[in-house]
Amino acid sequence: MPFARLAHVTTPTRRLGLGLAAVGRPGYINLGRDRDLPADRTVDALRARTHELLDAAYAQGVRYLDAARSYGRSEEFLADWLRARPDVDDVVIGSKWGYTYTAGWRTDAERHEVKDHGLATYERQRAESAALLGDRLDLYQIHSVTPDSPALTDKDLHARLAEAAAQGVTVGFSTSGPAQADAVRAALAVTVDGAPLFRTVQSTYNALETSAGPALAEAHDAGLTVIVKEGMANGRLAGPDAPGALRAVARETGLGCDAVALALILRRPWAGVVLSGAATLDQLASNLHAAAVDLDDDQAARLDALAEEPRAYWERRGQLPWH
């Protein structure tokens, strides 16, 4: 397991990672992103922003970096950064396959990504990821598994994933949607030659969407590393968009709503790595303050009361515009 390499890391931010969804492509659904990035979102401009964030994250102790084939040029930007820093050999690199980026570097594209969990897509995207990241790729995840995903039943795909695992790449999956818990439990049952196929799970979990929690605890107990994404609910838990209860707790702690929101997740004993999706250096610095937030039980209970019904949460998420 690549995350075993992080066991010796003693920095306060060792359980925080950096996801590149917001900076690997010009359009994304995070609130406020139209202000976070330059109006002229050229490839070079976002490459420079990505490298700034990676430099800052690494300097502040972050050691897990997360990309995906559908995050525009995130793998390319990450690969460029790694090549320019050959002494950086203590990071864990994860990426994902299953969505194809289709926006053509436009923010007004009709479709930004197309989902396909078939074997042919895996073979194509695995080769694409390998061409960019080579042997630096530690973790390869199926992107956004749902209970009806063919990736849960395709034996030929399972065999190919098991081959990748035998060659040293850890195999995992991510989830999305209101039935995340069902998807996690279905994936835990997938085996190849009697052995569990997946070693990590990456799911959406935050103060507003907690439904996957019990299943993620089960995954942790089964030996999987749990990675939490969208801990900021795509910006709904940051700054002026944050609920009143979160703003109140943030005032009590003297830190930002974002740090408090991520600290709530860090309290979960099953949460191995919690991702920052920062698009600016200020956001990253504020996110990483989560490691210093010490919520008491009363504060945590007030934040736990913010949870929404899962279908309502995902319906609202689906309505967020691509900025």
The model's pLDDT over 111-145, given as tens digits with 9 standing for 90+, comes to 999 999 999 999 999 999 999 999 999 999 999 99
Buried/exposed 66-95: b ≥16 CB within 10 Å, e otherwise? bbbbbbbbbbbbbbbbbeeeeeeeebbbbb
Look at residue 187 in the predicted model and tell me its pLDDT: 98
Q: How far apart are CA 198 and CA 218, in angstroms?
A: 13
Look at residue 292 in the predicted model and tell me its pLDDT: 96
Buried/exposed 159-192: b ≥16 CB within 10 Å, e otherwise? ebbbebbeeebbbbbbbbbbbbbbbbebbbebeb
Low-confidence ranges of the chain (pLDDT < 50): none
Q: State pLDDT tens for residues 272-292.
A: 999 999 999 999 999 999 999
Look at residue 294 in the predicted model and tell me its pLDDT: 96
Q: Which residues pair with 114 in a beta bridge?
A: 100
Residue 65: in which H helix or E strand, if any? strand 64-66
Instruction: Kindly report the pTM of this predicted structure.
Output: 0.97
**What residue spans of the chain are helical by DSSP H?**
33-36, 43-59, 74-84, 119-133, 155-166, 180-188, 213-221, 244-253, 257-266, 281-288, 297-304, 310-318
Look at residue 303 in the predicted model and tell me its pLDDT: 98
Q: How far apart are CA 227 and CA 323, in angstroms?
A: 26
Here the contacts of 241-244 (C-beta below 8 Å, separation 24 or greater) are 241/31, 241/32, 243/207, 243/306
Look at residue 87 in the predicted model and tell me its pLDDT: 94
Which are the contacts of 119, defined by CB distance < 8 A and separation ≥ 6? Answer: 154, 156, 157, 160
Cβ atoms < 10 Å from Cβ of 210: 20
The distance of Cα 255 from the centroid of its chain, to the nearest Å, equals 23
14-318 belongs to which homologous superfamily?
Answer: NADP-dependent oxidoreductase domain (3.20.20.100)
